[in-house]
Amino acid sequence: MKNTHIISYLQNIITTQYEFLLPSFPCFRATIKSNVTFVTWIEHPHLPCTHWAASSIFLNPLLLPKKLVEEGFTKVAFKEPADVYIINTCSVTQEADKECRYIVRTILNRAPAAFITIIGCYAQLKPEEISKIEGVDIVLGASEKFNIAKYLHNLDKKANTEIHSCEIEQPLAFHSAYSSGDRTRSFLKLQDGCDYNCSYCTIPLARGKSRSDTIENAIKNVAKIAATGVKEIVLTGVNLGDFGISNPASDEHIESFYELVQALESTDADVRFRISSIEPNLLKNETIEFIAQSKKFVPHFHIPLQSGSDDILKKMRRRYLRDLYVGRVTKIKSLMPHCCIGADVIVGFPGETDEHFNETYKFLNELDISYLHVFTYSERSNTLAAENSEVIPIEVRRKRNRMLQILSEKKLRHFYQKQMGTEQTVLLEAVNKDGFLYGYTNNYVRVKTEYSPELVHSAAKVLLKNINTDGTVAVDIISSEQFQQQELNYATN
Ligand code: SF4
C-alpha cells in the first residue's frame, strides 16, 4: 500500500496508559491519496498551566490534520495500520526522552517502515535530544509544524533524523482553530504563547511570545461553530487573559479580553461561552461584572492559583499575591453565589516547607472555591526553579498532592450540595454509558440521567436532586430541546 498512508490519532493523557485510551479517539477518512497517524503525547493535562494544556490537547491535533486532509491524507484511529505517525509532544519533563522512545518503539514494532515525525513543545525545546531516538525521521519546531505537509512528500525512512526548527524569539504567527469532534461543545483557540516568566514553566520557550486572534475573526469562527449546531464554545489560549496582542513584535495590545467578551456577548450565535482558564491578575473586575449579567457566558471560572503562600508565589514569579486571588473570588461570589470556581495548585515546589504547604491548605480550605486541579511539581530543565537546591522529596510531594485531592473532593461535594433543589440548564452529551447520559450545567455540575434518544444532544432544564455515589448529580428533567444535527468538518483558518 505504498500510496495508502494512514492518519491516526492518539491523545495520551497519562503516557503509560496511552494504549488504553486509543479506542476512544475519533478517526476519519477522506479521499485516499495518503494516510497519516497522529499521536498526541501529553505528559499531564494541566501542569503547569491549564490554559496551555487546553490549547495543546484540542487545537494542534485538529489544525494539522485539516491541513493534511487538504493534501489528500486520511486520518484513522491509532490502532489501524499507518504509514506516517505524527507525535505531538506537549510537555517536557525529565521523563520525556524515555516516554518518547517508548512511543516510537511501539509504533515501529507495529509498522517498521512507518515515517515518524515529532512536533510540539519537546520538539521545539530539545530537537537534538529527539534526533538521537532511533527511528525518528523528522523533528518540526513551533513554526515548521504548520508546514508539515511539505515534509511528507517523500515518506522513505531517513538515514539521519532531519531537524527543522526556528528560534522561538522570532515572532510567530497566530493560527486560529477550533475543535469539531463533539456536537455538544467546541474549543476555540483565541490566543497562543506567553510573555510571563513563571520560574517553573517552559511554555514561553516552547510556544513563543503572546499573540492573539482578532475579535473580528473570533466572531466569524463563533458563527461557523454555531452553524454546526454546537451549543457550547470554550474559549482557550495559553494565557487567554492576555488576549489582544495581534503583533507579537510590538507587544502592543490592540484589543482586550474584556472587549472580546463584550463582542461575543453581542453575537447572534445560539451558544453558551465558557472561559477555559484565566490568570487571576488578568481577570478584571469589569469582566466579572459583565459576565455576572451575561446571557451567554456561564458562571464558571478556572483561575490558576498555584500556591496559597506568598513566599512560594514570589519564588514561582507569579504576578499576584494571595490577597489579589481572594479579591477575585470574593467579587465573583458576591455577584454570582452559584458560580463554580476551580483552581490549579502545584505542590512540592522547591523550598515549599511544611509551613508553606499548611498555609496553602488552610488558605484553600477557607476559600469559597469548588474544586482543585492538583499537580505535583516536576523539574523542567532550563527553568529557574529546577536550579533551586531546596528540592522536596518525591514522597512528600505525593503526600501533599493526596491531601489536596481529598480537600478538592470535599469542596466539590460541598458546592454540589449547595446546588441541590435549584433549576439549571444542562447540555446533554451523546454517549450512552451503561444506560445513562451525562452533561454539565452552566455552573459546571456534572449531571447524569437515564438514557433516552430524545435527550441525546439536548439542552435540558433540570432540577438537581441528589448526589449519586459516583459523584455525579441525579436530576429531574423539566424540559428539553434537541440541538440541530449537522455533519461536522475539521475547521481552521
Ligand atoms: S509562564 Fe506562567 S502564565 Fe505563562 S504559560 Fe507558563 S505558567 Fe502559564
Residue 32 pLDDT exceeds 60: no
Indicate whether 179 pLDDT > 60: yes
The predicted structure's pLDDT at residue 254: 92
Mean pLDDT of 390-411: 97
Ligand 1 contact, 107 CB (< 6 A): no
Q: Tell me, using a 6 A CB cutoff, whether residue 48 lines ligand 1.
A: yes
pLDDT tens, residue by residue, 355-372: 999 999 999 999 999 999
Q: Which three cell numbers stand for residue 42?
A: 501529553
At 329-345, the pLDDT tens digits run: 999 999 999 999 999 99
DSSP string, 258-296: HHHHHHHHTS----EEEE----GGGS-HHHHHHHHT-SS
How many A from CA of 90 to the centre of ligand 1? 14
Number of Cβ within 10 Å of residue 334's Cβ equals 10
Q: Which atom of ligand 1 is nearest to the CA of 48?
A: 7
Q: Which atom of ligand 1 is nearest to the CA of 279?
A: 3
Inter-CA distances, 249 with 77, 195, 208, 256, 476, Å: 39, 12, 11, 17, 54
Q: Computed from CA positions of residues 402, 407, 410, 411, in that sequence, does the dihedral angle turn out positive or negative?
A: negative
Query: What's the CA gap between 404 and 344, in Å, rounded?
Result: 11
Q: What is the mean pLDDT of residues 254-283?
A: 97
Structural domains in the chain? Answer: 6-164 (3.40.50), 173-277 (3.30.750.210), 302-320+327-419 (3.30.750.200), 423-482 (2.40.50.140)
Is 350 a pocket residue for ligand 1 (Cβ < 6 Å)? no
Residues 60 and 11: their CA atoms lie apart, in Å, by 11
Ligand 1 atom closest to the CA of 207, numbered from 1: 5
Q: Is the shortest distance between the CB of 52 and ligand 1 below 6 Å?
A: yes
Is pLDDT above 90 for 11?
A: no
How far does residue 196's CA lie from ligand 1's centre (Å)?
6
201 Cβ inside 6 Å of ligand 1: yes
Instruction: For residue 468, report the distance from its CA to the centre of ligand 1, in Å.
Output: 36
Band of residue 203 on the pLDDT scale cut at 50, 70, 90: confident
Q: Quick one: CA dihedral 214, 219, 220, 225, positive or negative?
A: positive
- d(CA 198, ligand 1 centre) in Å: 6
List all residues 6 or more positions away from 433 whose beta carbon is below 8 Å from its beta carbon: none
Is there an atom of ligand 1 within 6 Å of 239 CB?
yes
User: What are the beta bridge partners of residue 464?
Assistant: 475
DSSP for 284-335, please give it: -HHHHHHHHT-SSB-SEEE---B-S-HHHHHHHT-S--HHHHHHHHHHHHHH
If you measure from the C-alpha of residue 489 to the centroid of ligand 1, how many angstroms do you get, rounded to a whole number?
Answer: 32
Find the 69 Cα to ligand 1 centroid distance in Å: 33
pLDDT at 290 over 70: yes
Q: Which of 52, 199, 318 to mutate to test the pocket of ligand 1 (most atoms within 8 A of CB)?
A: 52
Residues for the chain: how many in total? Answer: 493
Q: Does residue 196's CB lie within 6 angstroms of at least one atom of ligand 1?
A: yes
204 lines ligand 1 (CB under 6 A): yes
If you measure from the C-alpha of residue 413 to the centroid of ligand 1, how many angstroms do you get, rounded to a whole number?
29
Determine the distance separating the centroid of ligand 1 and the alpha carbon of 356, expressed in angstroms. Answer: 21
Q: What is the rounded distance in angstroms from the CA atom of residue 277 to the CA atom of residue 313?
A: 18
Query: What pLDDT is attached to residue 458?
Result: 92
Beta-sheet pairing, 138-140 with 115-120: parallel
Ligand 1 pocket residue status of 367, Cβ below 6 Å: no
Give 250's Cβ-side CA count (13 Å radius): 8
- Determine the pLDDT at residue 181: 67
Indicate which residue's Cα is closest to atom 3 of ligand 1.
196
Question: Burial level of 87, CB count in 10 A (0-12/13-18/19+)?
Answer: buried
User: What confidence score (pLDDT) does residue 246 get?
Assistant: 85
- Residue 118 CA to ligand 1 center (angstroms) comes to 23
Q: Is 49 in the pocket of ligand 1 (CB under 6 A)?
A: yes
- At 246, the amino acid letter reads S
When comparing pLDDT for 17 and 202, which is higher? 202
Indicate if ligand 1 lies below 6 Å from the C-beta of 194. Answer: yes
Nearest-CA residue for ligand 1 atom 8 is 49
Q: Sorting pLDDT into bands at 50, 70 and 90, what band is 40?
A: very low
C-beta 56 within 6 A of ligand 1 = no
User: What percent of the chain is predicted at pLDDT more than 70?
Assistant: 81
Q: How far is the CA of 52 from the centre of ligand 1 (A)?
A: 8
Is there an atom of ligand 1 within 6 Å of 133 CB?
no
Q: Which atom of ligand 1 is nearest to the CA of 204?
A: 1
